[in-house]
Structure 1
Amino acid sequence: MALVFKWLMRITTAAVALVVLCVCMVYYLASRSLPDYDKTLELPYLTAEVEIVRDNANVPHIFGQTDQDVFYALGYAHAQDRLWQMTMLRRTAQGRLSEVFGTATVDIDKLIRRLDIYTRAVASVEAQDEQTMLILRAYATGVNARLDEINDSALGRGAPEMFLFNAPVSAWRPADSLAIIKLMGLQLAGHLDEEVLRARMSLALSDAQRLSDILPDAPGSGIAALPEYAELVQGVTRFAENTMPPQHPLSPFKRRMFAGASNAWAAAPSRSASGGTLLANDPHLEFTAPAIWYLARLELQSGGVIGGTIPGMPLVLSGRSENLGWGLTYAYMDDQDAYIEELNPDNPEEYRTPDGFKPFETRGSIINIKDAAPITITLRWTENGPVLPGTHYNLGTITPPGHVASLAWTVLSRNDTSMGAALRLMRAKSVREAIAAGEGYLAPAMNLMLVDREEIAMKMIGAMPRRDARHQSQGRLPSPGWIEANRWQGRLPYASNPEFVAPNGGILGNTNNKTVDRPFPNHVSFDWGDTQRVQRWQGLMQAREVHTRDSFIEAQLDTVSFTARSLLPLIGAELWFTGEAAPDGTPLRQRQRALTLLAGWSGEMNEHMPEPLIYAAWLRSLQERMIRDELGPLASEMTHVEPLFIERAFRDIDGAAVWCDVVQSAPVETCADMARLALDDALVWIEETWGPALETLRWGDAHQATHDHAVLGQVPILRFFVNIRQSTNGGDNTLQRGLTKGRGPDPFHNTHGAAYRGVYDFADPDSSVFVTSTGQSGHFLSRHYDDLAQLWRRGEYIPMSLDEGLARAAAVGVTILRPRP
């Protein structure tokens, strides 16, 4: 027995030692790729010395003698901190994820190849002006200098992920940066999904009038500038279930609710307490670890520029210079149209056009797959755009036999000059110069919020398709591609894009809401991203005669739900304080407790309160009960509550109360019946998930922000190191937006919101502030991987200063790049 025990001890000791050795080896290899920020390097192609001064938040402040050298250093800094992110963005745009991740990402690669995004980015290189090309080449050279340093010095392949996945990194090219702009457009786009869903709904509903209930138009004439303060397809007869494959974490194809969103507002000197202009901006994207944003300051020949960049592109997308501030919101311009193309019954390689049948433009494309044989797909293009498979956004469910679907989209231009326009914006000195710079911008369409020291403005930038007034569906549904009136006829002039300059009321803003109400075909869009947040924003802006930086921050962090305040009195009208007393433990008693809590609630979606969870679960159950009987499986597409639909039904607008009646049941249910039953459903779900004690519920437990690593976030053990989870305030319709997941076992997880926030004050520009949701580094062993995360969660910021002395005073490192002799 002693001998057995001795050998067991030896084996155990050896196993423990082996595990420790493996852990130490993994840590050593991973830590080799941690950047050294305090060093001097000699690199090729520089014209003079450049300094990268990293402040205590690891924000690089880059000083050089020429703009090309500064952008060279930005490329180097991006590659130091976010090499894995950059290479994944590039691989996604190229349709080459499967070379690393195998069969799991083949569907993504197929769709990207069919859209031909990277080929079009390569073609767009020829459309760039000389100055833009100089900057793109300088930036690419800086990225490649870091790649050479990694290879020459054995710096752990540049990122820990490179050890786990065999992902060879080729040299960076100017076309790679152009491709990432197009990829951003893909992540923001939502009109194609909206068109297909509208078509599917129209097929599913027996009463066509009900389509305007479940997919309502944004009401009103449009809001951008506030007044003065004192004024206070035919042929489809079948319906099919969802055919779109499950979404991979790396997929850039976002569903309609997770398309672009954001907030931006500005105040003129007349509405500012300090007499200077103010600007606040918080673009909303899917949460990831690290956040897609990267803070940086560039000292250009035209002056300092500071703000949020996206690694892979030499752009400050939201930020300020000494004299100009700019922010972005997704414009919701209708820049996508789906077409149904008729195949030639005698030759399926031809499709019908206004001039008869023509052959598709075709090209083969080989997709290499890790641990599997490569596959070849045939890319087909019509005069309208690329042919897409039926699984893409469920196009197959609305495409008749003998037809295929194609897509017209401004992002797919081969002459995309958006990069040059964005670079000119960074050098602009005034609002007027910035608006002029936007003329060359093509896609994705954005609202550009601008302030200089005296003036404020908002201009929609991006190519607006010119449609024929006789278009059969006005771009709201997929339409026959062979009818001339349905086809695009070029683009409208830049001057026709909505523009608001120096409004009399002194306040401008956008929450993805409807901005203009113009007749088709100059309408901009029928579908907008917000009808709720804008209501709260209007109230906050007009509640003060003058604003400050702090009042703009307060609005940016506001968590009061206009939707809750407007809908709860409506849906609970016949439930408040009614019914006899009920004993504890009964459903009636639980319902009364929930209603008592909600009756005294202000609508604040605070992480520490129970009411937001009860409200959110109630509304979710209510919509599910109202639509499931009419829509069947299609009801699963409505992952989030549509407030206008609930309001239309409970106010019985145009007979919308019919949604409250269950089609299959004999009695005629009222909306009050639905509200009561839905509340009971919600309380049962809450009790099963969180327990019966309603008063101890915390919204933040359900509404956790999921900053997950797209690749390592699902790996056991490792996910605890790479994922960042936080209890958060806000909700789907609050200004501090925290869009919920909408489905699955954790439907209220916060998955999409403001990963970047900035507030710019031109009365004292160096008092401006910004923050991102995680940290500057993409390396999970770095202290800068998540050092900004708690600041972001608490609604705190870091200084956004162009003061060189402040940057140097608490620098975590200074990197000096010198020209190699």
Structure 2
Amino acid sequence: MKTLRKIGWVLIGILGIILLIGLVVKQVLKPDYSGEKYMADLQSDVTVMYDPYGIPHIEAQNEADAYRALGYVHAQDRLWQMELLRRVSVGGLSEVFGKDLLATDQFFLSLGIDDASAKAVSELDPGSEMARLSQAYLDGINQFIEEGPTPVEFLLTGLEKKPYEMVDIYNAVGYMAFSFAMAHKTDPLLTIIRDSLGVQYLADLEINSSPTTEWIRNYRGEEVSSEAAVISATRKALSALPVPQFIGSNSWVIGPEKTRSGKVIFANDPHIGFAQPSVWFEAHLMTPSYEKYGYHLAGVPMPLLGHDRNLAYGFTMFENDDIDFFYETLNPEDSTQYLTPSGWKALEVVTKTIKVKDQDDVQFSYRKTERGPILNGIANQITGDRPISMDWIYTKGENRVMEALFGISHARNIEEFKQALPKIHAPGLNTMYGDAEGNVAWWATARLYQLGDSTHTKLVMDGSKGQDRKVRYLDFKENPQAVNPPWNYVYSANNQPDSIAGMLYPGYYLPENRAKRIVSLLDSRNDWDAEAVRDMIHDDVSAVNPGIVTELAKLVDIRDLNEQQALVLDHLSKWNGNYAVDNAEAAVFHRWIYYFLKDTFEDELGEELFSQFISTHFHKRLIAPMATKSNSVWWDDVRTEDVEETKKDMVQSSFLQAFESLQEDLGDDIAEWTWGRLHTLEHPHPIGQIALLRSFFNVGPYPVPGSREVINNMAFQYNGASLFSVTAGPSTRRVIDFSDVENSMSILPTGQSGNPFSKYYRDQAKMFNKGEFRKMMMNRNEIKESASSVLTFKPIK
């Protein structure tokens, strides 16, 4: 017994030592939110007041000092996130994670973002105000790197901290621009379908702009298989990324005529892949001549979302087609040449070096035409097939995106704001605007262009022919837009815009589901207030899905259903499209739609191409139309030569498969088939993939309401898995009321800090899941009185 007691005391002692070491490590590695620090090149003291949620309110006597402090405090909470984001475009992920990321590095290097960034920096006027403030921000980051604690992720990966440069800012923005694009998932796939199955198989895929969908209306007022290899490589590269992708968004701005107060109300919730840390870093900058409450991308000084007492702005994805693919014809007598409309030209060969963790450096080369990189041979693709090049507008011409971000974040009114927008050539953005003067506006912001009449940008085109060249670039005033329209609101849900320049602009627009619901709700009343808008931003009712059920259910033969199956169908037929966590019909609907798509399309496409097909936007656009179509070439199962299946066969079979799969996953009691058991959200950290560290780095999982393509857009993939695990959704929710701007509200999905030792790492997660908000404080006295800590930066004398 004494021996056991001694062993017990020894174990307790060891546990105590481990706990003590853990506490010491936490104290050493956590961010420092209070005290005094000395900072080089400051002109005067800077006070950083942290509110109860860790948001820094930075008070300085001039902007350069404010941005220098912003760089420091941003880095101490998000340096690991900054590091990953700046590495994507330059092929630097293999150095962190090893050879498994080599294909991703090769793919992103071939895009040419790093070269475009270097060119933009070389042409930058270092004396411009944007460059001066950006450099101050970088200096703040670098001071933290020199003197601050090393984030635990650097210690675990053995990665060395390195200073930040101007080119890192541009590389981060370049990754964001490509993350918005959809052509790489779509164009090669549609070309395969046309070439292997026939043009008739494209007819039902809803790939073109539609004259019948819910449009974003214009109003200007008075003036105020190499193809398969390309897709496979792209999917592999993007799926391996340890940083989130930008996928869509909601926003609406309600004019004074429709609000109870007679003042504008602004709402925005950008949809981005969920990750930990979450995408946005909030910061409130205050100087005698400048104030902005902004949302910052890691390593980017100017806020992409923001507001002050005069105006508010935000973005959604425009979803325009800004990437085109071309077949290239190589000279049979000289493989270093390719054919253009003006004759043979020499291919450019670009060579890069990729550092790989625990291995020798890898030399990587790719060929390039005047349009862009030839993707064959990149990321272990099939070689020897017809070469395909990619033409991406982001890497062409002058890159003034950072100037645009500076301009919109410093605009004092709608005219100054609008003047900055033409400087954004890519990514395509729906820019949303509202102000204290009562203006509401939406601009499709991108460098748009016209192609020849016979050109189809959703298919791989022919680089040797002149008709597929750009005819002209549109002037910004021709872009889709609405400024103070007579219906007294503007909105965007990544849906199709109205016609411009005599055409419906080609794009990869999402279905009208969210748009129809937003328009219906906004049109329903003229007494909006901030509370009602906050409720609306959480709306989880589909305006479309109950109609799909109606169309499908009438084809189900009740005689072939057992009692439970008939009961499920009856309940589903009465469903109002709600996606609360305790709703059972939602689970049945999505299982049914998955099997309906699988039964309809997989026999022709095969397993791999079907998987690629359901990763595109256009598959979402075709669900409702296919539910109403009586005849389609896709209904017949090509694997059964002696039988010609009908739509009725597909509907019946898919419903029964959905029922059986739910029964297997959730049990026999259909009352227990609740949405929250299947629809869960976990915020993954790259290091959280290691099982032992998952609970420390990851946040969640939680059952959550909402669904794909409702306003509360908690998106997931149809991949045959038993769970509908949420992969993307609101990266923040903001509601700004100009009748009471100091009480405007927001929320982050997890927390403000990316440091797992910070108390702000996950403190907003449960609030986010429950649909709660917190204040975006702007009143200095309130900020001072409620501050949880104060950090002061002082000049080095």
TM-score tier by shorter-chain length is over 0.9
- How far the C-alpha of 1:596 sits from its partner, in A, is 2.6
Residue identity in the other structure for 1:345: P
1:689 paired residue among 665, 673, 677: 665
Deviates more, 1:23-32 or 1:124-133: 23-32
Residue 499, structure 1, aligned to residue 478, structure 2: no
- How far the C-alpha of 1:556 sits from its partner, in A, is 1.1
Residue 117, structure 1, aligned to residue 113, structure 2: yes
Residue 569, structure 1, aligned to residue 550, structure 2: yes
- C-alpha separation in 2, matches of 1:623 and 1:744: 11
Partner residue, 1:584: none
Contact 1:38 1:815 in 2 (8 A): yes
Partner residue, 2:407: 424
Contact 1:661 1:671 in 2 (8 A): no
User: Per-residue displacement from partner, 1:112-164 (whole Å, max 9, x unpaired)?
Assistant: 221221232122113435111101111101111111222xxxx2x1x111110
- How far the C-alpha of 1:629 sits from its partner, in A, is 2.1
Partner residue, 2:329: 342
- C-alpha separation in 1, matches of 2:186 and 2:681: 26
Deviates more, 1:359-368 or 1:636-645: 636-645
Deviates more, 1:616-625 or 1:634-643: 634-643
User: Per-residue displacement from partner, 1:660-705 (whole Å, max 9, x unpaired)?
Assistant: 6666153443323322221110111112211121111221121111
- C-alpha separation in 2, matches of 1:439 and 1:650: 41
Contact 1:649 1:671 in 2 (8 A): no
Residue 717, structure 1, aligned to residue 692, structure 2: yes
Q: Say which SS state the counterpart of residue 260 (structure 1) adopts.
A: strand
- How far the C-alpha of 1:249 sits from its partner, in A, is 5.9
Residue identity in the other structure for 2:93: L
- C-alpha separation in 2, matches of 1:649 and 1:529: 16
Structure 1 segment 611-650 matched on structure 2, within 5 A: 611-633=585-607, 634-639=609-614, 642=619, 644-650=621-627
Structure 1: 5+ residue stretches without partners: 228-235, 581-586
1:91 paired residue among 84, 87, 107: 87
Q: Closer, same or farther in 2 for the Cα pair 1:237/1:167, shift >3 Å? A: closer
Contact 1:329 1:511 in 2 (8 A): yes
Residue 604, structure 1, aligned to residue 578, structure 2: yes
Q: Closer, same or farther in 2 for the Cα pair 1:118/1:291, shift >3 Å? A: same
Q: Closer, same or farther in 2 for the Cα pair 1:737/1:660, shift >3 Å? A: farther
Residue identity in the other structure for 2:201: R
Residue identity in the other structure for 1:316: P
Q: Closer, same or farther in 2 for the Cα pair 1:744/1:21, shift >3 Å? A: farther
- C-alpha separation in 1, matches of 2:269 and 2:520: 19
Partner residue, 2:69: 73
- How far the C-alpha of 1:247 sits from its partner, in A, is 5.3
Q: Say which SS state the counterpart of residue 326 (structure 1) adopts.
A: strand
Residue 656, structure 1, aligned to residue 632, structure 2: yes
Q: Closer, same or farther in 2 for the Cα pair 1:346/1:667, shift >3 Å? A: closer
2:136 paired residue among 129, 135, 138: 138
- C-alpha separation in 1, matches of 2:237 and 2:400: 31
Contact 1:323 1:452 in 2 (8 A): yes
- C-alpha separation in 2, matches of 1:673 and 1:110: 45
Residue identity in the other structure for 2:85: L
- Number of aligned residue pairs: 783
Contact 1:243 1:391 in 2 (8 A): no
Quote the RMSD (CA, aligned, Å): 2.7
Partner residue, 1:541: 522
Contact 1:72 1:142 in 2 (8 A): yes
Partner residue, 2:751: 775
Residue 474, structure 1, aligned to residue 456, structure 2: yes
Q: Closer, same or farther in 2 for the Cα pair 1:367/1:299, shift >3 Å? A: same
Residue identity in the other structure for 1:180: A
- C-alpha separation in 2, matches of 1:102 and 1:241: 23
- C-alpha separation in 1, matches of 2:494 and 2:758: 35
Give the fraction of aligned pairs with identical amino acids, expressed as a percent. Answer: 26
Residue identity in the other structure for 1:389: N
- How far the C-alpha of 1:648 sits from its partner, in A, is 3.4
Q: Closer, same or farther in 2 for the Cα pair 1:423/1:302, shift >3 Å? A: farther
Residue identity in the other structure for 2:424: Y
TM (norm. structure 1) is: 0.90
User: Per-residue displacement from partner, 1:757-796 (whole Å, max 9, x unpaired)?
Assistant: 1011112111211111010111112221111111111111
Residue 39, structure 1, aligned to residue 35, structure 2: yes
- C-alpha separation in 2, matches of 1:169 and 1:639: 39
Q: Say which SS state the counterpart of residue 370 (structure 1) adopts.
A: coil
1:802 paired residue among 774, 778, 782: 778
1:672 paired residue among 628, 631, 648: 648
Partner residue, 1:196: 188
Q: Closer, same or farther in 2 for the Cα pair 1:95/1:390, shift >3 Å? A: same
Partner residue, 1:311: 298
- C-alpha separation in 1, matches of 2:525 and 2:636: 41
Contact 1:629 1:664 in 2 (8 A): no
- C-alpha separation in 1, matches of 2:483 and 2:404: 19
1:514 paired residue among 496, 499, 509: 496
- How far the C-alpha of 1:432 sits from its partner, in A, is 2.4
Residue identity in the other structure for 1:28: V
- C-alpha separation in 1, matches of 2:8 and 2:204: 67
Partner residue, 2:208: 217
- How far the C-alpha of 1:730 sits from its partner, in A, is 0.9
- How far the C-alpha of 1:300 sits from its partner, in A, is 4.4
Deviates more, 1:115-124 or 1:35-44: 115-124
Q: Closer, same or farther in 2 for the Cα pair 1:639/1:10, shift >3 Å? A: farther
- How far the C-alpha of 1:225 sits from its partner, in A, is 4.3
- C-alpha separation in 1, matches of 2:10 and 2:337: 69
Residue 443, structure 1, aligned to residue 426, structure 2: yes
Contact 1:124 1:414 in 2 (8 A): no
- C-alpha separation in 1, matches of 2:334 and 2:7: 71
Contact 1:262 1:511 in 2 (8 A): yes
Residue identity in the other structure for 1:417: R
Contact 2:542 2:709 in 1 (8 A): yes
Residue identity in the other structure for 1:170: K
Partner residue, 2:222: none
- How far the C-alpha of 1:29 sits from its partner, in A, is 3.0
Q: Say which SS state the counterpart of residue 544 (structure 2) adopts.
A: helix
Q: Closer, same or farther in 2 for the Cα pair 1:647/1:148, shift >3 Å? A: closer
Q: Say which SS state the counterpart of residue 354 (structure 2) adopts.
A: strand
Residue 172, structure 1, aligned to residue 146, structure 2: no
Q: Closer, same or farther in 2 for the Cα pair 1:120/1:240, shift >3 Å? A: closer
- C-alpha separation in 1, matches of 2:768 and 2:252: 20
- C-alpha separation in 1, matches of 2:702 and 2:12: 34
Partner residue, 2:373: 386
User: Per-residue displacement from partner, 1:424-472 (whole Å, max 9, x unpaired)?
Assistant: 11111222221111121222110111111211111111222x34325x5
Q: Closer, same or farther in 2 for the Cα pair 1:341/1:574, shift >3 Å? A: closer
Contact 1:604 1:612 in 2 (8 A): yes
Deviates more, 1:775-784 or 1:490-499: 490-499
Residue 550, structure 1, aligned to residue 550, structure 2: no
Q: Say which SS state the counterpart of residue 213 (structure 1) adopts.
A: coil
1:408 paired residue among 391, 402, 413: 391
Contact 2:89 2:172 in 1 (8 A): yes
Structure 2: 5+ residue stretches without partners: 220-224
Q: Say which SS state the counterpart of residue 727 (structure 2) adopts.
A: strand
User: Per-residue displacement from partner, 1:87-123 (whole Å, max 9, x unpaired)?
Assistant: 1111222211111211011111111221221232122
